[in-house]
Amino acid sequence: MAFILTLNPEEQSATVNRHGNEIVVIVPLGYDDARPLIYSLMLGLSPMAGGDLEFFFCIIEADNQYNTEKQLWSGLDTTEIFSGEHRTSILKGLLGATEMLVNAVKPSQVTMCTIDTEAPKKADRKHLLIARVFETCGYAVKCADEYHGKRVWQMERQPEAVRSMAAGGGDHDEA
């Protein structure tokens, strides 16, 4: 099996779609040149109890021969599929699609949780980078202490005035 990456993180072809109560983005990644498998990145916002939204992402493995799909939620599930170079490109694609999603939807509050328990620091890196995307899109981000081996982030959209002051725009009077 050899995964062929077709994703160009600089020129993403993804759109924001509604799927029931979820808001989903699908980013085509590539295919297996030996088997009828196509890989895509799926990310989105899903409603939680209480009305908040949870940010999620996973890899979709679609089998064209059997017309089935498998969701791969852990990086451990993709170690035999993607090389380190592929992972770097996919991470860039994830971050770009996250920014597109957040700017299109502008949710007031979002929660994000790690999938794996007791994940190594390297695995948490992608979550930290996603949290940084939310920050650059105008969100205050808080990370809770680890609980049962998992991490949870809370992102809250800041009012325009707060974002403006944080960016240095609060130093002058408005006319």
- Has residue 125 got a pLDDT over 80? yes
For the record, the structure tokens of 147 come out as 């609980």
pLDDT digits (tens, 9 = 90+) for 18-77: 988 899 999 999 999 999 999 999 999 999 988 889 999 999 999 999 999 999 999 889
Give residue 174's pLDDT: 40
The β-bridge relationship of strands 109-113 and 53-63 is parallel
Q: Facing residues of 5 across strands?
A: 30
CA distance 144 to 135: 16
The domain locations on the chain are: 12-166
* Sign of the dihedral defined by the CA atoms of residues 23, 116, 97, 135, in that order: positive
Contact 143, 127 (CB under 8 A): no
Give yes or no for residue 168 having a pLDDT over 60.
no
Helices then strands (H, E): number in the chain? 3, 9
Amino acid, single-letter form, for residue 60: I
Beta strand pairing status for 139-143 and 53-63? unpaired
pTM over 0.75: yes
Could you tell me if 53 and 43 are in contact, meaning their C-beta atoms sit under 8 angstroms apart? no
Q: How many CA atoms lie within 13 A of 49 on its CB side?
A: 0
Q: Which of 21, 56, 39 is nearest to 130 (CA)?
A: 56
Alpha helices in the chain (DSSP H): 84-105, 121-136, 160-166
Radius of gyration over alpha carbons of the chain, in Å?
18
pLDDT at 162 over 70: no
Q: Residue 167 pLDDT > 70, yes or no?
A: no
- In angstroms, the CA 35 to CA 53 distance is 36
Amino acid (one-letter) located at 127 = H
